[in-house]
Structure 1
Amino acid sequence: MSSDFQRSKVAGVFSAMDVDGDGFLTEQDFRALTDRWTGIRGWAPGTEGHDKLTGVMMGWWRTLLAASDQDRDDKVTLDVVLRVVDGLQQQPEAVRGTANAMFDAVDENADGAISAAEYRQAIEAWTGKPTDTDDIFPVLDLNGDGHLSREEFAELWTEFWAGDNPNAPGSLVFGRV
C-alpha cells in the first residue's frame, strides 16, 4: 500500500496529467500533454520530433491503460495508478523501460544527455506553467557533470515511481512535491 509520501508525489503528477481536471486520465489527457510539450518545442505535426514525442507519450498511455484499466472504460483513476505503483518494485524492467522512453522524450537534441534547459522544458510541459528548476537540477545531477545521463535518469525515475524516500534525489524528478 502506498505511503502518504508516495500518494502525494504520484497525485502531483496525476493532477498535472489530468488536463481537463475530471479525476481520470484518458487518452485525451495524454494527447493534450503531448500537444503542450510539442508546442513548447515548436514542433509541428509531421515533423520528426513531434512524431517521436507523440509516440513516446502515447506508448506510455497504452502501457498504463493495459496495466490498470481493469473495467475497460478507457479511464484511469489516481487510486488505480497507485495500485500499479505499488507493484513497481517487483517490475524493475518495466520501470526502466518507461525511464528510457521518457529519457528520449526529454533529450530534445538527442545527444544522449539531459541538460538543465531540457529538464526545465519537460517540467514546464508537465505543469503547464513556467517553473524554476535551477535549485532542483543540481540535486538530480548525481555525478555533478552538468547533465543527466541515461543511467542517472533511470535511477532517478525508478526512485520516483518505486521509492518512498522523501530525501532521495529521485523524488524530485517531476519537481518539488
Structure 2
Amino acid sequence: MITEILLGNLVEMTPEEFLSSSVWVARIKTYFKLMDVNGDGFLSLSDYEAIADRLVELQGNSSNYEEIMTLFRDLFQNMIAGGASVDANTMIREEELVANAAKAVSVLQSAPAVGTRKNEVFFDIIDTNKSGEISREEYRKYLAIYSGGDQPERADKAFDSIDADGNGSITRTEFIEGHMGYWFTHPSNQSHTPLPYGPLVEA
C-alpha cells in the first residue's frame, strides 16, 4: 500500500532538475551537516557503521545487526558515494554528496521499494516500544543517534513536519512518506515539505 502511494506521487526527474532547486539542495546540505558529527567536513564509511552500531544499541536487540549494518553500508555506497567503490579511506565532501544524491534519487525514483524498505527498517528500530507509532521522545532519540547529541528543538520541528495529521505520533506511512518525499520529490511537486532532519540550512 505504501509503495503504491509513493509510486503515485513520484515524478521522475533528472539530476539536473533536482540540482536546479535551491530547496532540494538545502535538504541535502542539512542532512550532511547533521551527519558530519565531528565537523571535519567529510562523511565516511566508518561514520555510517558507527550510526548502525548506535541504532542496534537503541533497539536493545542485536538479532538484526547484520541487516542494519548492511543497510548503512549500502546507503553510504549507493547514495552518499554515488555507487562508487568505497573503503575505510573514502571521504565524501558536502558538494560531492549533493551531486551524488541527485544522481542516486533520479535512478531510484523508478524503484521506490528500495527506499521504502530502508525506511521500514528505520521505523521498526525507532519504535522501541513496538506500539506501531513513533512518539516525540522516540524521534528525539533517533535524531540524537545521527547528530551525536540531543537537539530537542530540532527534533521537535522535524517530528511536527512528519506528523501530518498532528495527532502527536508518527505512523509508519507518515514516516516513510516524509523521508521519501524529502529525498525523492522536487519541491515544486509538493504542497507540504517534510523536514525529517530539522530546519533547512541555507543552500
Q: What interval of TM-score do these two structures reach, taking the shorter chain for normalisation?
A: 0.7 to 0.9
List gaps (5 residues or longer) in structure 2. Answer: 1-15
Q: Tell me the percent identity.
A: 26
Distance in 2 (CA, whole Å) between partners of 1:8 and 1:153 is 20
By how many angstroms is 1:22 displaced?
5.4
Q: Is 2:132–2:172's contact at 8 Å kept on the other side of the alignment? A: yes
Alignment pair present for 1:69 and 2:92: no
| Structure 2 residue aligned with 1:105 | 125
**Count of paired positions:** 169
Q: From the superposition, tell whether residues 81 and 138 of structure 1 become closer, same or farther in structure 2 (CA, over 3 Å).
A: closer
Segment drifting more, 136-145 vs 19-28: 19-28
Distance in 2 (CA, whole Å) between partners of 1:65 and 1:73 is 6
List gaps (5 residues or longer) in structure 1. Answer: none
| Structure 2 residue aligned with 1:159 | 181
1:1-177 matched pairs, under 5 angstroms: 1=16, 2=19, 3-19=21-37, 21=39, 24-37=42-55, 41=58, 47-48=60-61, 50=62, 52=64, 55-66=67-78, 68-70=82-84, 72-74=85-87, 75=90, 77-78=96-97, 79-131=99-151, 132=153, 133-165=155-187, 168-170=192-194, 172-177=195-200
Letter in 1 for 2:120: N
| Structure 1 residue aligned with 2:3 | none
Q: Is 2:123–2:175's contact at 8 Å kept on the other side of the alignment? A: yes
By how many angstroms is 1:161 displaced?
1.1
Q: Is 1:30–1:58's contact at 8 Å kept on the other side of the alignment? A: no
- TM-score, reference length from structure 2: 0.68
Q: Kindly provide the CA deviation profile for residues 155-176 of structure 1, in whole angstroms up to 9, marking residues without a partner as x.
A: 1111111123286242x11111
Distance in 2 (CA, whole Å) between partners of 1:138 and 1:21 is 27
Distance in 2 (CA, whole Å) between partners of 1:15 and 1:89 is 24
By how many angstroms is 1:115 displaced?
0.6
Cα RMSD between the aligned structures? 2.8
Q: Kindly provide the CA deviation profile for residues 142-167 of structure 1, in whole angstroms up to 9, marking residues without a partner as x.
A: 12322111111111111111123286
Distance in 2 (CA, whole Å) between partners of 1:13 and 1:130 is 16
Distance in 1 (CA, whole Å) between partners of 2:44 and 2:130 is 28
Q: Kindly provide the CA deviation profile for residues 105-128 of structure 1, in whole angstroms up to 9, marking residues without a partner as x.
A: 221222211111111111122222
Q: Is 1:106–1:122's contact at 8 Å kept on the other side of the alignment? A: yes
Letter in 2 for 1:137: F
Letter in 2 for 1:164: H
- TM-score, reference length from structure 1: 0.77
